[in-house]
Amino acid sequence: MQQQQHVETKIVMADPTALGVFGLAMVTFVAATAKLHWTNGVTFLIPWAIFLGSLAQIWASTIDFKKNNYFGAVVLGAYGLFWMAVALHWAISLGWFGAIDMSKADPRQFGVACFGYFIFSLFVMVAAFEVNKAFAAMLVLINILLPSLALASFGIAPELCGVLAAWSEMAIGLIGFYSAGAIFLNSFFGRVVLPLGAPFGFIKKGTAQQIAAAAGVKA
């Protein structure tokens, strides 16, 4: 009797983090120029929000899910969806889908969404402290940007909130460029070329068994 042999093929996928972080850096950098009045309007921001802010991050998120990179999968996916919603918000505001009935449109809902993402980002910031210092800095700035956008949309100190939103977004973009470049070079050369900063070590991670139990998975 002929014995059958089973051959398993493992597909190895590269780390997509550099692309996802670059997408976030690019869209925040371009959007910040509008908030700082270096450029005007949001019409030509929409393609960058869709392709870099959204699709690049969502694609990287799907790869991270396959690679079991929990942090990257959830965070890049969540912020990728945020930028897709922002792009549609801008498009609707510009009348791309037809005239807007202002009696049925309340721009403060954008502020509510920003507060929701702010709550989520507080949790992400705690985890980012244990990833590296560059990511931690970006999350601190994101947690300045989001409530600033929310408060401005409610008409609360709009000038101050506008300045905070603009400069925090610009800083996110610049740190994001550095982070994406560092991840790319470090991965390519297989060693630390540009440091991202060691984790703070505030919260100790559990063992593999503890992590599996926390996720409800049998080890």
pTM of the model: 0.89
pLDDT in tens, 138-180: 999 999 999 999 999 999 999 999 999 999 999 999 999 999 9
- Alpha helices (H) along 8-95: 17-35, 46-48, 57-66, 70-93
Residue 7 has pLDDT above 90, yes or no: no
Quote the pLDDT of residue 153: 95
**Tokens coding 44:** 């030509």
Residue 104 has pLDDT above 90, yes or no: no
Cβ–Cβ under 8 Å, residues 198 and 132: yes
Q: Mean pLDDT for the chain?
A: 92
Domain spanning 17-96+105-214 has what CATH number? Answer: 1.25.40
**What's the rounded Cα separation, in Å, for the pair 127 and 142?**
14
**Tokens coding 18:** 């550099």
Extents of the domains making up the chain = 17-96+105-214
pLDDT in tens, 110-136: 999 999 999 999 999 999 999 999 999
Instruction: Determine what percent of the chain is predicted with pLDDT higher than 90.
Output: 81
